[in-house]
Structure 1
Amino acid sequence: GTFRLCMNYCALNRITLKDRYPIPYIDVLLDRLHGAKYFTKLDLASGYHQLRIHEDDRHKTAFVTPDGFYEWKKILFGLANAPAAFMRKTNKILGPHSQHAVVYLDDLLIFSGSD
């Protein structure tokens, strides 16, 4: 197995200026699937870890272990703005293909109604 660190960023999240990028309602996303015949569901593994934390903000994620002092270079689960940042980037990448795809947090569903 592998290890996954679990960090408590409650204090940081309380003072973080929140990114108000809209997280869609599941009902709205499901309505977009009406008439679709084919589906591909992707769980973007370690999705948040694909986005960098700005160098000036990395110190805010610092933690200490018996092995030393560390700062995250990539966004991680548990930071208040991680879902919004990831969805914004994924929706931007999908751009012109967004009529056939929906993004919800780190999940992507591609759909089509035709052969």
Structure 2
Amino acid sequence: MAAGHIEEIQFPEWLSNVIFVPKPGGKWRMCIDFKDLNKACPNDFYPLPRIDQLVDSTSGCELLSMMDASQGYHQIMLASEDRKRVSFITSNGTFCYVAMPFGLKNAGTKDLWTKYSDHR
């Protein structure tokens, strides 16, 4: 909560479980299991482009900017009406994400591709 990625919620529309996944070195990472939510979501028909498409699309351009995909999650804010769908329960309460979490099907693909392809 201190990072501002989640907030407490009273009436979630969808509830996912917390799972713990082992990390290299013996530590554990807390993750949210969005499998059931992802099954309920339709497939998005905006696949990310192949590298050759990206290279070809830059011909004739004077400037090229890059997006740091390693920091891609928790940067895109969720619409307030969608936050109740990415909620999860813990022993400390029920929370929802306010920014795009890792593990969602089609997370941001359409919006990112549309945003960057429109600005070439």
Q: Which residue in 2 is equivalent to 1:21? A: 46
Q: Which residue in 2 is equivalent to 1:6? A: 31
| Identical amino acids, percent of aligned pairs | 30
Alignment of 1:1-115 (within 5 A): 5-31=30-56, 43-88=68-113, 90-91=115-116, 95=119, 98=120
Q: Which amino acid aligns with 2:49?
A: P
Whole-Å separation in 1 of the counterparts to 2:38 and 2:103: 9
Whole-Å separation in 2 of the counterparts to 1:79 and 1:69: 18
Runs of 4+ in 1 over 3 A off after TM superposition: 30-34, 39-42
- Cα gap change, 1:58/1:41 in structure 2, threshold over 3 Å: closer, same or farther? closer
Give the secondary structure class of the aligned counterpart of 2:82: helix
CA offsets 1:85-112 (integer angstroms, 9 cap, x no match): 45236416x71xx3xxxxxxxxxxxxxx
Superposition TM-score, scaled by structure 2 size? 0.55
- Cα gap change, 1:50/1:40 in structure 2, threshold over 3 Å: closer, same or farther? closer
CA offsets 1:66-94 (integer angstroms, 9 cap, x no match): 222100111112111214145236416x7
The answer as to whether partners of 2:83 and 2:98 remain within 8 angstroms in 1 is yes
* CA deviation after TM superposition for structure 1 residue 25, in Å: 1.8
Question: Unpaired segments of 5 or more residues in structure 1?
Answer: 99-115
CA offsets 1:5-30 (integer angstroms, 9 cap, x no match): 42221111111123322311233334
* CA deviation after TM superposition for structure 1 residue 44, in Å: 4.2
Give the aligned CA root-mean-square deviation in angstroms: 3.3
Whole-Å separation in 1 of the counterparts to 2:113 and 2:56: 21
- Which of the two has greater helix per residue? 1
Superposition TM-score, scaled by structure 1 size? 0.57
Whole-Å separation in 1 of the counterparts to 2:105 and 2:111: 11
The answer as to whether partners of 1:49 and 1:74 remain within 8 angstroms in 2 is yes
